[in-house]
């Protein structure tokens, strides 16, 4: 089990554009995913992109399980997504709170497309092709932004809606992506 250090905002490595994965089902790719899963679990994250642990490849993982304390929160299936392509399906956007393991302890309101299709591959090279909306769509867009060097504060319009999680949501546990 290897828990990697997650790079934090301000580190120039987070701003680089990641390279496509050329080969699936390789020992290197499985090892990277083991490290990503271990790191995400240790930090109780909802998602993680390879560049956040200083690996410049187009690989993200995400997943949000049912939480007994917040039974109405939307869930997202555990997913490995490699070389993703996102297609925005219509003009509808929605504002929602986001957090990020690279911006720990803070949350900000980000407006994003609501309805998307995403395509890519799992670690074995099997095609993933899903049409999603709402929170699932937000998580995918947040993670894939990391592959292009974009952190969620760079997408914010209203900086008055940016602050410390403990002040914005006292007493609530919140996951970061
Ligand atoms: Ni993030």
Determine the distance separating the centroid of ligand 1 and the alpha carbon of 99, expressed in angstroms: 7
For residue 87, what are the domain limits? 12-168
CA of 29 from ligand 1 middle (Å) equals: 20
Q: What separation in Å is there between the alpha carbon of 96 and the centre of ligand 1? A: 14
Annotated catalytic sites, by residue?
143
Residue 17 lies in a domain: yes
Q: What percent of the chain has pLDDT over 70?
A: 100
How high is the pLDDT of residue 73?
82
3 in a structural domain:
no
pLDDT at 173: 82
Residue 58 in domain:
yes
Dump pLDDT digits (tens) for 147-159: 999 999 999 999 9
CATH code of 58's domain: 3.90.45.10
Does residue 5 fall inside a structural domain? no
**Ligand 1 centroid distance, CA of 152 (Å):** 7
Surrounding residues of ion ligand 1, Cβ less than 5 A: 100, 177
Handedness of CA 80, 37, 64, 52 (dihedral sign): negative
> Ligand 1 center to residue 18 CA distance, Å?
14
Which alpha helices (DSSP H) does 67-168 contain, by range? Answer: 134-147, 165-168
157 assigned to some structural domain = yes
Q: Where do we find the tokens 């993670």?
A: 143
- Domain membership of residue 127 (yes or no) is yes
- The helix/strand/coil state of 173 is coil
Ligand 1 centre to CA of 68 (Å) is 24
Q: Does some domain include residue 160?
A: yes
Render pLDDT for 51-102 as a digit per residue (tens, 0 to 9).
999 999 999 999 999 887 777 788 999 999 999 999 999 999 999 999 999 9
CA atoms within 13 A on the CB side of 55: 19
If one counts the domains in the chain, the total is 1
């Amino acid at each position: 089990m290897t828990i990697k250090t997650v790079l934090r905002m301000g580190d120039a490595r987070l701003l680089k554009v990641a390279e496509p994965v050329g080969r699936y089902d390789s020992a290197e790719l499985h090892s990277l995913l083991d490290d990503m899963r271990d790191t995400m679990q240790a930090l109780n994250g909802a998602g993680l992109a390879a560049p956040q642990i200083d690996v410049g490849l187009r690989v993200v993982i995400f997943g949000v399980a049912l939480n007994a304390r917040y039974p109405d929160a939307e869930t997202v299936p555990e997913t490995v997504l490699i070389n993703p392509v996102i297609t925005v399906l219509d003009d509808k956007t929605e504002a929602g709170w986001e957090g990020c393991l690279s911006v720990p302890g803070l949350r900000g309101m980000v407006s994003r497309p609501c309805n998307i299709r995403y395509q890519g591959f799992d670690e074995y090279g099997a095609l993933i092709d899903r049409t999603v909306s709402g929170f699932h769509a937000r998580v995918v867009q947040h993670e894939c932004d990391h592959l292009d060097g974009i952190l969620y504060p760079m997408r914010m319009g209203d900086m008055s809606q940016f602050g410390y999680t403990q002040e914005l949501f006292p007493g609530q546990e919140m996951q970061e992506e």
